[in-house]
Amino acid sequence: MTIITDSGSTKCDWITIDDNGIQLFEKVRTKGLNPAILTPGELMGRIQESDKLMEHKKEVDHIYFYGAGCGTEEPSMALKRVLEKIFPNAEVTVAEDTLAAIYSAIDNNEPAVVCILGTGSNCTYYDGEKIDQRVKSLGYILMDDASGNYFGKQLIRDYFFKHMPENLRVSMAERYNMDEDFIKYNLYKQPNPNAYLANFAEFLFLNKDNSYCTDLIKKGVRIFAENMIMQFKEELKTVPVHFAGSIAYYGQEQIKEVAKEMGFRVGNFVRRPIEGLVHYHAKNIK
């Protein structure tokens, strides 16, 4: 039994396939498993909350885990050790989420720039064989432009600074707990503040007809494009830019407008990479 896993900071999807590439049972979803943020104990606890995974843990012989926070050695090795402990018979491979986006978004292994816009954000170039990650992500505090947590932070700031239209402030207060102590508690005393911030991003896309919201989305995408996509100026002359993640999926219209402004060609949009990953690994089962 092989498990293919796609994880962000908010949620993690697990799909099992047999030696013929046939899915064995329904997709399992756990909380996000970002080893750059969570301790080994927290990672283990989140996995063990799934009765289905625990029921089949000894049957698993391969795990291909793609996730946020897995782009540097120490966090990825910590997660690998946790997975090896829980699934004692499995050969475990841990890779960064950009590789998952590549496998799910590209066509026929063709070169492309591939972006992730989900709870976090990232961007890489794939030449058809290997990735070229020119900027290492420093996470949600310093980077993650145009991500869910980026937009959540902007919305909260604009709410308290009263930079958003009053009708949206009223709607936001009706939808979320905007008490300042509650917000500070979640940001500074609870785990995964990036995922907490990302929860607010849905508000933007529910109100996309409002110019404030569309302008905020485009502003974030422009910053992301300037800092991340445009590092591949030469490659952009010949290759498309693919996008993966829920923020990208729901912000397609604004992304295409920014792409036209900045002169790069948009390719595919993939909301959840897990389906593409399953297809990729099913084709490559030895």
The CA-atom distances, in angstroms, between 161 and each of 158, 164, 187 are: 5, 8, 18
pLDDT tens-digit readout, 107-152 = 778 999 999 999 899 999 999 989 998 888 888 899 999 999 999 9
**Is residue 27 within 8 Å of 15, Cβ to Cβ?**
yes
Of 142, 140, 120, 122, the closest CA to residue 132 belongs to 122
Residue type, 250: Y
Tokens representing residue 1 in the block? 């039994």
Residue 138, phi-psi category: left (phi > 0), alpha (psi -120 to 50), beta (remainder): alpha
User: pTM here?
Assistant: 0.84
Q: Please give the domain boundaries of the chain with CATH numbers for all domains.
A: 2-100+274-283 (3.30.420.40)
**Is residue 127 within 8 Å of 121, Cβ to Cβ?**
no
Hey, CA dihedral for 146, 149, 151, 153, is it positive or negative?
Answer: negative
pLDDT tens-digit readout, 41-89 = 999 999 999 999 999 999 999 999 999 889 889 999 999 999 999 999 9
166 vs 176: CA distance, rounded Å:
15
